[in-house]
Structure formats: C-alpha cells, structure tokens
Structure 1
Amino acid sequence: MGDKHRVQFEPVDLEMEVDEDETVLDAAFRQGIALMHGCREGQCSACKSFLIDGDVQMARYSTFALADYESDEGYVLLCKTHANSDITVELINYDEEELRNAVPIQTVSARIASITALTSDIVSLKLQTGGRFTHRAGQYAEIRRPGSDVRRSFSMATTPGSPEVEFIIKKYPGGHFSGLLDSELKPGDPLTLTGPYGSCTLRASGEDDGRRVVCIAGGAGMAPILSLLRRLAETGSRRPVVFYYGARTPEDLFYLPEILALGERIRDFRFVPALSHVTEAPWGTLGVTGDLGLVTDVVDRNEPDLSEADCYLCGPPPMVDATIALLESKDVPTDRIHFDKFTTSVS
C-alpha cells in the first residue's frame, strides 16, 4: 500500500481517506460513499469533477470523457485519479442522499444456475450466491472467472433479496466474457461477483412526491429497467411509469408476459416497444401496442413534456448518448437523468 491522504469533497462537506495506490472512486467504494460513476474505465465522464486543491495523477483515460482543455482547467475523472497529497474536490454531479446511503462493495463467490437464450444474441445468466450479495434495484456488478484477470460489468435484473442474481447479457463475437456464454461457461461453473456499482437507482424524493418514472432502454439495457420495475411492483409504488424499449424486430423482444404482469401490479403503467427495422406494425400478434422507429424518435413523438419526470436509461452507448441529448432538449434536469453506460470488450 502507498501513502494515505485525505480527500475533502465540496460542496457536500464530506471527507474520506485515499491510498495512493487506489483511485479516488475506488476509495469511495471501499468506504461506502456513493460518488456518481458510470463505466469506471475513464470513458463516460459520469465521475468528472473539479480539483480545487492538491496534487493528483491520472491514469490513462479517453479524451472523449475528459477533453484536454478540461484537464488543463483542473477537471479530473475520479475513476482514474490517484492522490499524491491531501486534495479538495468539487463534485459536479452528485446526489447528497445517495452519497451517504451506499451499499458497501462486496466480493462473493457464485455459481452459474442457468444460461437461457432470450433472443438470437441476448441471454439470461442467473447466478447462485447463497443470498450473500446485497444490492439496490438498478445497479450493476462485475463478473470474473476465478483465475482470470478478465472482469466485465453487467447490470442486474433482479431485486434485493432475490435468491438468484440475474444478468441480461448481449453476446458479441470475441467478447471477453459474453463470447464464452455459448461455449465454455455452463451451469455449476464458479464465478466471482464484485459490487454493487452504479447510481441508476430509485430516488426516495421521487417516491414521496409521486413524480412520473420514464424508463428508456435498448437491447440488454432491459436489465436495470426490469430490476426497477420489479422493485416498483414489489413495494406497491403508486408512481406513474412508462417503459420505452427499443428493438430491431419482434423477434428481439423478450420477457413481454412478465413486463405486462408487472404492469398489472403498478397503478399507472404503460409499455411501449419501439421497433426500428420493420415497416408494418405487428402489434396484433404480440398482445401489446408500440410504435415504429428508433426508440429516441418514439420517445420524442410520445413525450412532449418530460421536465417533471425521473428518467432512467440503459442500452448501447450511442443510444444512451442520443437519449441524453433528447432529454436535455426537453428540459429534463440533469439530476433527474439516471444511467450507467458500458463499453464492449472484444478480442
């Protein structure tokens, strides 16, 4: 371990310890402080903050997440920042309630319970953890094979207290982890689970004031949204909820019966699938009515005013970026746009 320093966060009057060998974000995880974060790989800018005072060093990151001129001005990515002295950091994106109510990071041993194909390229991976893994609805975890350095992050579709932890994973040819789901991995195999991470969680303030929940997802981004819906149904929430889900064709839709069943348990619920690669509406055969086009276009047409909604997003990075731009154009406050954005790792 290296030298230890103090980190003072502004404007929330919060202080913690950091070791030189760990990033500021990892130190926060270790001490149960929920800083805003996304990919944890220096590529998404969710943890971008401003260095007020002190000496730091940043590991390699993408200039798409932090431009050179921003670095010159003093901005840093906390997932890549190592402190060389006591430092003071101004948080740009934060939720003070979330900061102080994090679920501590855990590493537990798990075994594969099942691998089930949901579409031609999306699978459900369920892990048995013996009930030893705690998380909040909407969060994600890191999966690693014992003896391997390959770690991949995936959102969880299950809710706290579920006997199994479910992940919905898109398979990519050559994917460091997903590429193993058709070949090497099988039920009974051991895996290591670390987490939970992510801030795409339900906010208590929204529950208190009845603010509408708007969920927007595509592909395997179904996972955290399904977790949120399951949690809203479990708790008997009375918040209005609409779920827009983008897919290419009807064959790319899955879990429709469960989504509709969850909708029966939520007082005011609407599910709108958006199909981007069909020319004729197939709704009669699906038992649900949606719309045609990219999910962002469907949201744009159906939601003239989102300024009073809590918005939850998950999907491929281009979809998430386009959706954030759309929501900002509709005057959704930044602190009501919740998302985690992942990158794809292939051989």
Structure 2
Amino acid sequence: MADEHVVRFEPVGIEIKAAEDETVLDAAFRQGISLMHGCREGQCSACKAFVLDGDVQMGRYSTFALADYESDEGYILMCRAHAYGDLEIELENYDEDMIRSGLPVVTAQTTIASVTELTHDIVHVRLALDEPSAFRFHPGQYIDIAVPGTDVSRSFSMACANQADGILDLIIKKYPGGLFSEKLANELKVGDALTVTGPYGAFTLRVSSDRRLVFVAGGAGMSALLALLRQMADSGSDREVVYYYGARNEADLIMTTEIAALAEALPNFTYVPCLSESWPEDWPATFPGGATGLVTEVLLEREPNLRACDVYLCGPPPMIDAALPVLEGLGVPTDQVFYDKFTITAATD
C-alpha cells in the first residue's frame, strides 16, 4: 500500500489524507471533499492551487493550463499533483459551502433503461442504478462511464435532479468515430450493463444567492442546466431565471416538452431558444421569446445588466470561450459566473 500524507487546504482549514499513488484531487473526491475542478486531465486550470509547504510531484499536463512560470512559482494542478510528504495548499478558486457539501465519489453498476434519438447527433440515455441508495449526487454534476471493452471512460453531465427514482438522465452528443459514440450507435442496447463513477463537478446551483439567474447553453449542454431547473421546480423556487439555449435550426432544439413543463412549474422562468439560422415562418408560439443569432450575441443584446445576475454557462468550448469575454466586458464579477466547459477529451469521445 502506498504511503499516505496529510494535505491541508487553506484558507478553509480542511485536512485529508492522500496516498502517493493518487492525485490530490482524487484523494479529496474519495473523502467527500468537492474541490473546484474541470477536466481532471491537466487540460484546464480549474483546479489550480498554490503549494505553501511540502513535497509535491506533478504528472503530465498542458502548459496552457499551467504555464512554466506558474509552476516555477509554486502553482500546481491538483488533478495532476501527488503528495510525497505532508502538504499545505492554498486554494485559488473555492466555494466553502460547496467544499463541505461534497459527496464521496463511488463506482456503481447501471443498466441501460432507454435510448432516444433527439437530433441527428444528440441522444437521450437513461441508466437505471442497480442500487439507487448507494449513489448520491448534486444536480448539475457529472459521471464517468467506463467504455465497455476498454480501460478508458467518458464524462457526461446528468440532467436529473431527483435521485430517489434510481434513474440517471444523460443527454449525449455523438461524434463520428468517437469511442463511446460508436459503441452507443452500433453495440450498446437497452438492458446492457454500464459501470459509472461519480459524482464529479462543481457546476451546482448556489442556493444561498437570491440574484436573478441567467442560464446559457448549447447542444448537449442542455443536460446540466435541465438538472438545475428541475431542482428549482422540485423545491418550489420562485427565483427569476432566464434560459438562453443556442442551436442551429428548429430541428436542433431538444427537450422542448420538458422545458414547456418547467415553464408551467416555475413562475418566473423564461426560455429563449436562439437559432443561428433563421426561424421558420410556421414556428409555433410555444416559446415566443425566441431569437435569431448566436446565443452569445443574443445574450449581449438582451442582458445589459448581467452584473446583477448569477450566470451559468454549459456547453462546448467555443460557446464558453465566446461568452466569458462578453461577461467580463459587462463587468460581471467572476464569483457570479459558473461554467461547465466540455473538454477536448470529451469532445473527441
């Protein structure tokens, strides 16, 4: 068994034990401590932190996520850092309430309950947990699915808010030649077993805030935001929320029945589908607030006072990368912006 060391996180004063053969981030997950993170592969900088004291060694990572000069100064990526002695780490980005409400990461067995094609490249998959009580999550988090016949996994956000029914809802984008996509298209079927690990992710609703909510998503980014909306509906929330969803054309709009039901359940909810192509002349009046243009363009046009809002972004890197400068330019404080950006690995799934 690998040697274990104490890792202390400041300024929150939380301590964990980390074995030398696991990353600091994985050690935290194992003990139910939910630190800020993103790709978990050294490709983003969400888990960047500063080593105050101790011996740490880093696995391979992208210098786009952690520049050489930052590493020289003592910064690390916790998803790639291994403790080789007791450590004291200063967290760069953290939410103390989220950290302390973390759930232990576990591995669970599931069975494919249904597979429904939503568009030409997006599918709705429902997984039934073999032991529902053994797997807990917060709405907005994601799971890893072990790709059958391989030693790799792929990450997918959950669209569900209620874990009592034992069903994990997933909205998955299929990629030509993608490892899991090909399995899903050609091999996997209802009744097949899949192993999942989780929950992961810090993309959860900050319920302590009463600010107006602005949700922005594109493609399969619908999944995590649908979970947050369902959470709000389940709790009887009357908080104001507007949801901008970007798609190319009418055929790419997904989960419209579910969104319409949420509009009935949430008294202060507005849905704004944004089509980068033109709206069809016979578009039904279900969502009269629809707009033409890229979702980030519509957001900039319609939301001049985002500084007073909490903004949640979920979707592919181009959408997130386009939205973040818009928010910065509008003066939105960084602690009011939350995003779940699909990583390159996920995008080449």
TM-score, normalised to structure 2, is 0.94
Matching residue within 136, 150, 153 for 1:151? 153
Mapped partners of 1:110, 1:286: distance in 2: 39
Deviating more after overlay: 141-150 vs 75-84: 141-150
Q: How does 1:216-227 map to 2 (within 5 A)?
A: 216-227=216-227
Q: How does 1:208-247 map to 2 (within 5 A)?
A: 210-247=210-247
- Aligned-residue offset at 1:280: 4.6
Calculate the aligned-residue CA RMSD, in Å.
1.5
Mapped partners of 1:193, 1:41: distance in 2: 18
2:286 — aligned with what? 287
- Aligned-residue offset at 1:84: 1.4
- Aligned-residue offset at 1:72: 1.6
* Cα 1:21–1:330 shift into 2, 3 Å: same
Q: Deviations over 1:313-334 (max 9, x none)?
A: 1100121122222222222222
Residue identity (%):
56
Q: Deviations over 1:59-116 (max 9, x none)?
A: 1111111112211221111001111111111101000111111121121100101111
1:191 — aligned with what? 194
Instruction: Tell me if the contact between 1:48 and 1:92 (Cα under 8 Å) persists in the aligned partners.
Output: yes
Q: Deviations over 1:289-311 (max 9, x none)?
A: 31111111111111001112121
Q: How does 1:1-347 map to 2 (within 5 A)?
A: 1-130=1-130, 131-132=132-133, 133-161=135-163, 162-206=165-209, 210-276=210-276, 278-280=277-279, 282=281, 284-285=283-284, 287-289=286-288, 290-345=290-345, 346=348
- Aligned-residue offset at 1:284: 3.2
- Aligned-residue offset at 1:343: 2.2
Question: AA paired with 1:343?
Answer: T
Mapped partners of 1:99, 1:211: distance in 2: 21
Instruction: Tell me if the contact between 2:249 and 2:279 (Cα under 8 Å) persists in the aligned partners.
Output: no
User: Any stretches of 5+ residues in structure 2 without a counterpart?
Assistant: none
Instruction: Tell me if the contact between 2:18 and 2:27 (Cα under 8 Å) persists in the aligned partners.
Output: yes
Question: AA paired with 2:313?
Answer: L
Question: AA paired with 1:310?
Answer: D
Mapped partners of 2:43, 2:67: distance in 1: 11
User: Any stretches of 5+ residues in structure 1 without a counterpart?
Assistant: none
SS at match of 1:307: helix
* Cα 1:85–1:283 shift into 2, 3 Å: farther
Question: AA paired with 1:149?
Answer: D
The number of residue pairs the alignment matches comes to: 343
